[in-house]
């Protein structure tokens, strides 16, 4: 971990790379080995047992097998943990693999199958909880209802802030207090550790779909959870048993993405504020969802985040038909799911990412979500203006 005196911009460049100079290399190495030599039977057996039960690779042992441990993945985990002010991080093959591992570790594995979920949530997470596929039972509630929703068999509280897709902000500290000792998982995908560090506000786990801002270029799928070492042991055990470890090539790309993460987030955030302000003046837009333009969110934003981020959503005055025309009318924006890349994306949540969500919790059909990238703000505004006209 880097010195606490370093800014997050400096940490992003150097975290997880501390040993490279000792090895005589400058670029991040990639270890693609699926199996590894064993020093001897006893050392190999000890290494296998240690990692299969959630421990780290023993210093004098072997990585044994790539389902259990990989040094490229471990370096990325170290870098992300540094940015999140966490003791550890555990990386998975996707964001949903991360969510699944947290549920298996905290709920199924602890025989506490009940989950309290604060809506709105990412559609995939909401859908997984609603199906009960992993043996969990979910109670959905608003922020001020968390304490009353907690039961003796509650194993986890899940929230997302800023929330997908309409950017509601949730006070993490308030939810943690209401949870009363029940572990709290915060989906930190939209904010990234550049703008928000949930563990500093009492959360147990900070989860990222690393596919988004951390990767940042639309070319890698992954997930990661920052947490204490004690929680990491539980998550790594689930990962080892279920086989959900991130591929080393993905870990390399995500670790490389960390170096430019602060610069990308800050630049996209500046543009998002300008785009949101402009959208707020357009007759075709009934409402703009953006923390930087919402006075009701000002308190949480100031106390918990270092900026409003680069996601914007709008409610169209013309309803679904207007939303359809906007998403099909843009040329610079790409009509596609996902977010957090260098290029700007636009999508209709109710028809896509939140389609599996129950109707009462699904975003309304007149809502469109925009992920603002690194293009010039005047070009993005011109593209939207042309499509809206």
Question: pLDDT confidence of 1, banded at 50, 70, 90?
Answer: very low
Q: Parallel, antiparallel, or unpaired: how do β-strands 154-160 and 184-187 relate?
A: parallel
Question: pLDDT confidence of 294, banded at 50, 70, 90?
Answer: confident
Inform me whether the pLDDT recorded for 364 exceeds 90: no
* CA–centroid distance for 110 within its chain: 24
How many helices (H) does the chain have, and how many strands (E)? 14, 12
pLDDT tens track for 114-144: 999 999 999 999 999 999 999 999 999 999 9
Reduced to 3 states, what is the DSSP secondary structure of residue 208?
strand
Q: Of 190, 217, 182, which Cα lies nearest the Cα of 206?
A: 190
297-to-86, 209, 302 alpha-carbon distances in Å: 26, 24, 9
Other CB atoms closer than 10 Å to residue 59's CB: what's the count? Answer: 5
Reduced to 3 states, what is the DSSP secondary structure of residue 129?
helix
Peptide bond into 388 cis (omega under 30): no
Other CB atoms closer than 10 Å to residue 271's CB: what's the count? Answer: 22
Inform me whether the pLDDT recorded for 67 exceeds 50: yes
| Mean pLDDT value across residues 71-82 | 98
Greatest Cα pair distance in the chain = 73
Q: Tell me what percent of the chain is helix, strand and coil, each rounded to the nearest 5.
A: 45, 15, 40
Question: pLDDT confidence of 145, banded at 50, 70, 90?
Answer: very high
Q: Parallel, antiparallel, or unpaired: how do β-strands 205-209 and 223-227 relate?
A: antiparallel
Contact assessment for residue 311 and residue 347, using Cβ atoms and an 8 Å cutoff = no
pLDDT tens track for 171-201: 999 999 999 999 999 999 999 999 999 999 9
124-to-58, 65, 172, 239, 300 alpha-carbon distances in Å: 36, 30, 21, 19, 25
| Mean pLDDT value across residues 286-311 | 92
pLDDT tens track for 221-248: 999 999 999 999 999 999 999 999 999 9
Residue 3: predicted pLDDT = 47
Residues in the chain: 389
CA distance 381 to 266: 18
CA distance 170 to 11: 27
Q: What angle do CA 15, 18, 22 make, to 5 degrees?
A: 160
Reduced to 3 states, what is the DSSP secondary structure of residue 290?
coil
Q: Where is average pLDDT lowest: 140-149, 162-171, 352-361?
A: 352-361
Structural domains of the chain sorted by starting position, each given as residue range(s) with its CATH number in brackets: 262-388 (3.90.1150.10)
CA distance 354 to 352: 6
Reduced to 3 states, what is the DSSP secondary structure of residue 90?
strand
Inform me whether the pLDDT recorded for 36 exceeds 80: yes
Round the average pLDDT of the chain to a whole number and report it.
96
What's the DSSP call for residue 14? H
Residue 350: predicted pLDDT = 87
Question: pLDDT confidence of 292, banded at 50, 70, 90?
Answer: confident
pLDDT tens track for 375-384: 999 999 999 9
Inform me whether the pLDDT recorded for 50 exceeds 50: yes
Q: What angle do CA 182, 76, 101 make, to 5 degrees?
A: 35
Contact assessment for residue 155 and residue 112, using Cβ atoms and an 8 Å cutoff = yes
Inform me whether the pLDDT recorded for 2 exceeds 60: no
Inform me whether the pLDDT recorded for 256 exceeds 80: yes
Residue 5: predicted pLDDT = 81
Helices (H), the chain: 8-14, 20-23, 41-52, 71-83, 95-103, 123-131, 146-149, 172-179, 192-195, 229-242, 248-279, 298-304, 319-329, 377-388
Residue 295: predicted pLDDT = 75
* Sequence-distant (≥ 6) Cβ neighbours of residue 177 within 8 angstroms: 202
| Mean pLDDT value across residues 136-162 | 98
Inform me whether the pLDDT recorded for 265 exceeds 90: yes
Residues taking part in catalysis: 67, 122, 187, 212
Inform me whether the pLDDT recorded for 98 exceeds 70: yes
Residue 4: predicted pLDDT = 60
Residue 293: predicted pLDDT = 85
């Amino acid at each position: 971990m880097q010195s606490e005196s370093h800014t997050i911009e400096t940490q992003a460049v150097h975290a997880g790379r501390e040993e490279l100079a000792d090895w005589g290399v400058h670029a991040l190495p990639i270890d693609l080995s699926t199996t590894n030599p064993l020093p001897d039977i006893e050392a190999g057996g000890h290494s296998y047992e240690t990692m299969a039960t959630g421990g780290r690779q023993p210093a004098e042992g072997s990585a044994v097998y790539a389902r259990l441990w990989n040094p490229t993945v471990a370096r990325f985990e170290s870098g992300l943990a540094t940015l999140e002010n966490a003791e550890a991080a555990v990386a998975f093959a996707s964001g949903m693999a991360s969510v699944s591992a947290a549920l298996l570790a905290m709920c199924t594995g602890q025989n506490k199958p009940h989950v309290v979920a604060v809506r709105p949530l990412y559609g995939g997470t909401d859908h997984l909880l609603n199906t009960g596929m992993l043996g969990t039972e979910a109670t959905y509630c608003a922020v001020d209802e968390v304490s009353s929703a907690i039961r003796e068999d509650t194993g986890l509280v899940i929230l997302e802030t800023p929330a997908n897709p309409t950017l509601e902000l949730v006070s993490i500290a308030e939810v943690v207090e209401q949870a009363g000792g029940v572990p709290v998982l915060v989906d930190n995908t939209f904010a990234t550790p550049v703008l928000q560090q949930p563990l500093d506000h009492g959360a147990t786990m900070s989860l990222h779909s690393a596919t988004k801002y951390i990767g940042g270029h639309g070319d890698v799928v992954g997930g990661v959870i920052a947490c204490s070492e004690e929680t990491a042991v539980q998550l790594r055990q689930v990962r080892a048993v279920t086989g959900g470890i991130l591929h080393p090539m993905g870990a390399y790309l995500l670790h490389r993405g960390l170096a430019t993460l602060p610069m990308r987030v800050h630049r996209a955030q500046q543009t998002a504020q300008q785009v949101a302000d402009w959208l707020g003046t357009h007759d075709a837009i009934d409402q703009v969802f953006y923390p930087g333009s919402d006075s009701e969110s000002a308190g949480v934003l100031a106390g918990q985040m270092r900026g409003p981020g680069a996601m914007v959503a709008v409610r169209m005055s013309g309803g679904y038909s207007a939303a359809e025309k906007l998403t099909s009318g843009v040329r610079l924006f790409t009509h596609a799911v996902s977010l957090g890349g260098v290029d700007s994306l636009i999508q209709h949540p109710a028809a896509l990412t939140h389609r599996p969500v129950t109707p009462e919790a699904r975003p309304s059909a007149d809502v469109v979500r925009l992920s603002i990238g690194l293009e010039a703000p005047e070009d993005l505004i011109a593209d939207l203006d042309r499509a809206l006209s």
